[in-house]
Amino acid sequence: MSGELKKDALGLIHSLAMGVAGSAPSYSISATMVTLIAAVGVLAPASLVYCGLIMLGIVFAYKYLNEHSPSSGASYSWVSQIFGKKLGFFAGWAVMVASALFMVSATIPAGSATLLLIAPQLAQSQIAVTLCSVGWLLLVTYVIIKGIKLTGKVQLIMTLFELLILTVLSVLAIIKFGPHALHTISWHEFSPTAFSPTSFANGAIIALFFFWGWDVSINLSEETSNSGTSPGVGAVGAMIVTIAAFTGFAAITLLVLGDEEISQSGTNIVFEVANKLLPKPWSYAAVLALMLSTIGNLETSMLQFTRTMFAKSRDGVLHSRWAKIHTTWQTPHLATFLIAAIGLILLLSSLTSESIADVMKASINVIGVQAAYYYGLAGFACAWKFRQELKHSLFAAATKIFWPLLSALVLWWAAVVTIMTFDMTTMAIAVGSMALGIIPLLRKPKLIAAVTAV
């Protein structure tokens, strides 16, 4: 029998901080900027602007759907209510798969940053980075199990700190390199005509990874005061902050670093920028920001997995054990142990890859496609649910119907185009991980009957 999550543990400010922490500015820049610039070059800032606007349509969808029905299951719960249990099940499954795969791409930068601080000679060793990442995963698991209230306070502090560091670096970059930019970005690079359909799709899916994770604010709605309004408002505010942070730092990266410096920086690109702007040891503030951002992002990803699994188990879609709440900490501790175990297995499995960069690239692409799928479903669900708003006001029609619908269509189109460029290994991970959802379906005869009836 399941218990209840801790009520009113978080407020509006925590929802905003959680949303920013879910997108994790410092981490996302370090993990993904090199991949994005390699794909689209000087169009990287524009890719982030357009993807941010697309994502804002999905944020509005989550906001309004949460007002209608607050639930820790978020997209899983709403899609189930609006389109039926079959699509709802796989919307939730996509969230869980993306979160599980994220255990690799989240912890590797934390391991790299830690070694860069304490043992620089080991920072390029895949074995050393993986083992250090395992340590971080275990520590974060312990913190999450202990409760959401402390996590919310810590996230607020960490988020403010990393945003401060990125702002300082951006101001210094403009002062020092403004007259001598290593890459010139003109307004033409922000024009839609600067993209080909393929480059736009590839850039959008990679950029999607930057923004992915803001919806943790909605997954925590049952633990937030004013559960119908605060999580949604916090998510909108978080998206505005992250669009500015990501676009600005993409431009700063191109301003400060040359092509060779960018390609060689790997997951330490924020540190590379800081090294050109500040003398040591001050430049190591960027590494500390990355560590805090990564820890926060890992926490929010695990929270999304456990809250989605809790909701699905509470509904009888998954085994009831995963909906059990710890009597003291009021957290779904068994689900937390599960995602930690999956993370450990995936991390150790990543040692079979030839390099850290290969692991990061594959996981980023797969997560981007998974996120596009379940975000898109939420956009479609919102447009259908509120289709009667066409009769009320232009603003309601735009934010509840047209913007979410357009965003969903673009995300699904970009996912399809990007999948066609995957190698066989990445394709197998993307398709196979979703196909695994058939197993729990087969173990639930009542659910199969319900799905068949839809």
Digit-coded pLDDT (tens) for 64-89: 999 999 999 999 999 999 999 888 99
Nearest-angstrom CA–CA distance, 327 and 331: 8
Asked if residue 2 belongs to a domain, the reply is no
Residue 227 has pLDDT above 80, yes or no: yes
Digit-coded pLDDT (tens) for 9-54: 889 999 999 999 888 888 888 878 888 888 888 888 999 999 899 9
Tell me the angle at which helices 12-23 and 25-40 cross, rounded to the nearest 10 degrees. 40
Residue 271, pLDDT score: 83
Counting Cα atoms < 13 Å in the Cβ hemisphere of 285 gives 16
pTM: 0.87
In 3D, which of 235, 165, 317, 330 has the Cα closest to residue 14? 235
Asked if residue 128 belongs to a domain, the reply is yes
Residue 280 — φ and ψ, nearest 5°? Answer: -70, 145
Six-digit token string for 22: 């879910």
- In the structure, what pLDDT confidence band is assigned to residue 400 with cuts at 50, 70 and 90? very high
Asked if residue 1 belongs to a domain, the reply is no
Q: Would you say 305 and 98 are in contact if contact means Cβ atoms under 8 Å apart?
A: no
Nearest-angstrom CA–CA distance, 73 and 92: 7
Query: Which residues are paired to 307 by β-bridges?
Result: none
Nearest-angstrom CA–CA distance, 320 and 179: 61
Residue 229 — φ and ψ, nearest 5°? Answer: -120, -45
Query: Which residues are paired to 224 by β-bridges?
Result: 10
What is the distance of C-alpha 196 from the center of its chain? 26
Nearest-angstrom CA–CA distance, 329 and 130: 30
Asked if residue 3 belongs to a domain, the reply is no
Query: Which residues are paired to 10 by β-bridges?
Result: 224
Number of domains the chain contains:
1
Residue 447 — φ and ψ, nearest 5°? Answer: -70, -40
Residue 48, pLDDT score: 92
Nearest-angstrom CA–CA distance, 249 and 143: 30
The arithmetic mean of pLDDT across residues 108-137, rounded, is 83
Q: Would you say 92 and 76 are in contact if contact means Cβ atoms under 8 Å apart?
A: yes
Q: Would you say 141 and 306 are in contact if contact means Cβ atoms under 8 Å apart?
A: no
Nearest-angstrom CA–CA distance, 249 and 435: 37
Q: Which domain holds residue 69?
A: 12-453
Asked if residue 429 belongs to a domain, the reply is yes
Asked if residue 387 belongs to a domain, the reply is yes
* CATH number for the domain that contains residue 313: 1.20.1740.10
Nearest-angstrom CA–CA distance, 397 and 248: 31
- In the structure, what pLDDT confidence band is assigned to residue 241 with cuts at 50, 70 and 90? very high
Asked if residue 269 belongs to a domain, the reply is yes
DSSP 188-242: GGGSGGGS-HHHHHHHHHHHHHHHTTTTHHHHTGGGBSSTTTHHHHHHHHHHHHH
